[in-house]
Structure 1
């Protein structure tokens, strides 16, 4: 039942407990207790709202930063990740396999603000070997939700 609950609330965290219980064929009380238990166990870590910032006047810039590091002896990657994720600008930090160690997702109001974060705070850290910053130009789908509908071709067909 846990996986079914998680699959449903991952797509719609605002679903009513009563509706969720009906979908699962369980009592509302059982569903509420299961969700509360998963919150206590830190399986459910929070509830988020997906916002299409492109439809707002206020701009938001998102960057994915590939970070290569030298892990600290005895501390590994965890302490370094903690130092990075404690910055307010940082939205997410992932330990990666492959050619770099972390993907750091940063949000700012402008590209300059994000670039300043990288040059003034992230890159100067002792364990950082290199950073490669990639700016998100357009979101098409985010967290399983299509953000940008494809434009329809409104040209008229003309034949001879």
Structure 2
């Protein structure tokens, strides 16, 4: 399991690393790295590999929102069943059961604020268990997926006044 943990650490930083690069960084041989990756994927520890995208830097852009959802459960319906229904929507980028004032935190990706609002009001809010939704539109992203979004033109020098 130690080899798998080392491979996970490298993949979490950069999933594009090749087998030989991972082996060099961890001190493991290439066969051990390949076996660890196969085991991690087979056991459902690694579910996929994705790029971290700064949608604001693209021409078409995307609107991201975090939606708080409260639900009321009955004897036949649990959090898993509600989560399964919400997770099936393509607009749902991430779904988390959370502690605190609401039950679920949902990350939604849409073409516009109206698109996100319409999705919540027409698809999520009408679910029988949903009692309340609160939508927070993301105005600026500074870090996502462990990757910091930094403008390359940023001048961090202190200004000097005469």
TM over 0.5: yes
1:122 aligned to which of 124, 149, 157: 124
1:92 aligns with 2:94: yes
Query: 2: distance between equivalents of 1:34 and 1:28?
Result: 10
Query: 1: distance between equivalents of 2:156 and 2:26?
Result: 41
Give 5+ residue unaligned stretches, structure 2.
Answer: none
The alignment of Structure 1 onto Structure 2 pairs a total of residues equal to 159
Quote the residue 2:13 is aligned against: 11
1:158 aligns with 2:146: no
> What is the DSSP-based 3-state SS (H/G/I as helix, E as strand, rest coil) of the residue aligned with 2:61?
coil
Quote the residue 1:73 is aligned against: 75
1:105 aligns with 2:107: yes
Q: CA deviation at 1:102?
A: 0.2
RMSD over aligned CA atoms reads: 1.7
> What is the DSSP-based 3-state SS (H/G/I as helix, E as strand, rest coil) of the residue aligned with 2:65?
strand
> What is the DSSP-based 3-state SS (H/G/I as helix, E as strand, rest coil) of the residue aligned with 2:67?
strand
Query: 2: distance between equivalents of 1:28 and 1:146?
Result: 30
Q: CA deviation at 1:11?
A: 1.1
Q: Is the 8 A contact 1:139 1:148 kept in 2?
A: no
TM-score normalised to the size of structure 2?
0.92
Equivalent positions of 1:54-65 (< 5 A) are 54-65=56-67
Q: CA deviation at 1:70?
A: 0.8
Quote the residue 1:51 is aligned against: 53
Query: 2: distance between equivalents of 1:37 and 1:83?
Result: 29
Query: 2: distance between equivalents of 1:22 and 1:128?
Result: 50
TM-score normalised to the size of structure 1?
0.93
Quote the residue 1:25 is aligned against: 27
1:145 aligned to which of 138, 144, 147: 147
Q: CA deviation at 1:148?
A: 2.8
